[in-house]
Chain A
Amino acid sequence: MELTEFIIKTITILVVFVLTLVIAMYSTWGERKVAGFIQDRMGPNRAGPGGLLQPLADAGKMFFKEDFIPALANKWLFISGPSLAMLTALLASAVIPFGSTFRYGGVEVVLQGVESNIGILYVFGVVALGVYGIMIGGWASNNKFSLLGAIRAASQNISYEVAMGLSLIAILMMSSSLSLGDIVAQQHGGNWNIFYQPLGFIIFLTCSFAECNRVPFDLPECETELVGGYHTEYGSMKLGFYLFAEYINMFVSSAIISVLYFGGYNYPGMDWVYNQLTASLGTTTGHNIATLIGTGVFFGKALFFIFFYMWVRWTLPRFRYDQLMNLGWKKLIPLAIFNIIITGASVLFLKPFITALLK
């Protein structure tokens, strides 16, 4: 029994891993297509139908380029920088609940890599570690511009982490659980957190833009001031890893946003669909198909947020660095604290009042 559980878990984790990589890979293609659409041009259309093989072509090019390490760079740290960036980006997808359960031969398999009762804290910890890949890489390049770019990226990340954590606290006060599985299950039946936490959602979204180093917060890369930022000295697949980690982070943060605020795999009319399916197809097949629909809905939400990232990237101009710091420390953090106080007051006073009113 323990061995089958182990095998099932291994397969689930592998599936989650592969899915994350594939989605991140095709986000690079999607980004160019969206950019092409917004700028009224075609986007990639040479490699395969509709340019679908473009990510493979890019990866092939990256792998076959010369793998160059500067003479005065710290060799081990230079290599470990991009590896750490990839590692921390991929770690976070382990606790995301992709769907409810699969039934097969009396065994229920949860569509989640690891169900942990500190799920959201784990994500937060992994996000906090994302800084190291950038800082180590930037320092090991032995280049002033790389170091300055790394410091910039790291200080931006740790500044916005504070507001991000504070906006999460409001969610945790409502759900009184840190497990992502529980948080999703509580949003069943149209009870999505976005309706209770609009302000928290906006703060979280802004912070996740900053954490992923996306426009309008893509300050670490700045040609006029910093050459290429922390990856100035990088080339070939090491550069590819840095760029790829950004897309993985985008997918992970989109998934986290849809889990925390948009009900994850829940959708309106879910119970009706479930009852219809189980009545017509039996409790096993019907349940599995309902789960598949839920997972599809979840990926739909996550992909929408990836699209939203791209939409913003090709629409808005970027901030200046002092504006970014002012926004993070002087606007978002007080707003997040305000949000916590409001949430606390509502949970304490408004909720009993409304439940009494509804009875």
Chain B
Amino acid sequence: MNPTLSFFYFLSFLTVLSALMVILSKNPIHSVLYLILTFFTLSGHYILLNAQFLAAVNIIVYAGAIMVLFLFVIMFLNVKDIHEESKNSLTKIAAAIVGGTVFVILFGAYRKTIIAPADPNTFDSQVGMIESLGKLLFREYLLPFELASILLLVAMVGAVMLGKREIGERHF
């Protein structure tokens, strides 16, 4: 087995394990930390695919910003106390049925998909590098890129509007 393949299996094992630990661990803080670990292993997969930019951005955006906010909220809310009582057996059974159904559907769908094999002669290993990604984004996909940025700007303005203190509201 070549080193890349064994590394891939190791990373995949780690990814699945930490993803499972996200839902299996009792403490919500531990869940968040395992989720961060999952993002790291996913970044490892991106690096194996030679998509370094995607790996770095995944770390910066998800692990660096969004998960920090998750941690903030969970640390402040102290979810542990409310958590236990809402878990009666009916919700457990319902969750198991829904999750199992999704799993079966996904498994069936993935089993039938045919992944086009990469041709080693025309395969370009530099396709995931930032230069080619930038050229693609700013030439062929310029309009969707700009639209996405406008969407994000609107979302940001909305967040500021929601967070803004109204006139006459109490200053705590």
**Cα distance A118–B33 in the bound complex, in angstroms:** 26
Once the chains bind, are B63 and A154 in contact (CB under 8 Å)?
no
The B-contacting residues of A in range 307-336, CB under 8 angstroms, are none
Q: Which of B52, B64, B68, B72 contacts A118 (CB 8 A)?
A: B52
Interface of B is mostly: helix
Stretch from B9-17, B53-61, B102-110 that touches the partner: B53-61
Once the chains bind, are A151 and B56 in contact (CB under 8 Å)?
no
A122 within 8 A of B: yes
Interface of A is mostly: helix
B129 within 8 A of A: yes
**Cα distance A165–B76 in the bound complex, in angstroms:** 27
Once the chains bind, are A128 and B36 in contact (CB under 8 Å)?
no
CB closest residue in chain B, given A157: B68
Total count of chain B residues near the partner, CB < 8 A: 20
**Cα distance A118–B43 in the bound complex, in angstroms:** 14
**Cα distance A131–B65 in the bound complex, in angstroms:** 10
**Residues of chain A lying within 8 A (CB to CB) of residue B129:** 117
Instruction: State whether A125 and B60 are in contact (beta carbons under 8 Å apart), knowing that A117-B129, A117-B130 are contacts in the complex.
Output: yes
Once the chains bind, are A117 and B71 in contact (CB under 8 Å)?
no
Once the chains bind, are B29 and A118 in contact (CB under 8 Å)?
no
The A-contacting residues of B in range 39-78, CB under 8 angstroms, are 52-53, 56-57, 59-60, 63-65, 68, 71-72, 75-76
Once the chains bind, are B60 and A151 in contact (CB under 8 Å)?
no
**Cα distance A323–B62 in the bound complex, in angstroms:** 28
**Cα distance A151–B53 in the bound complex, in angstroms:** 30
Once the chains bind, are B53 and A128 in contact (CB under 8 Å)?
no
Instruction: State whether A136 and B68 are in contact (beta carbons under 8 Å apart), knowing that A117-B129, A118-B53 are contacts in the complex.
Output: no
Once the chains bind, are B53 and A121 in contact (CB under 8 Å)?
yes
Given contacts A128-B65, A129-B63, A135-B71, 14 further A-B contacts (CB under 8 A): A117-B130, A118-B52, A118-B53, A121-B56, A122-B56, A125-B60, A128-B60, A131-B64, A139-B29, A139-B75, A150-B75, A151-B72, A161-B64, A178-B130
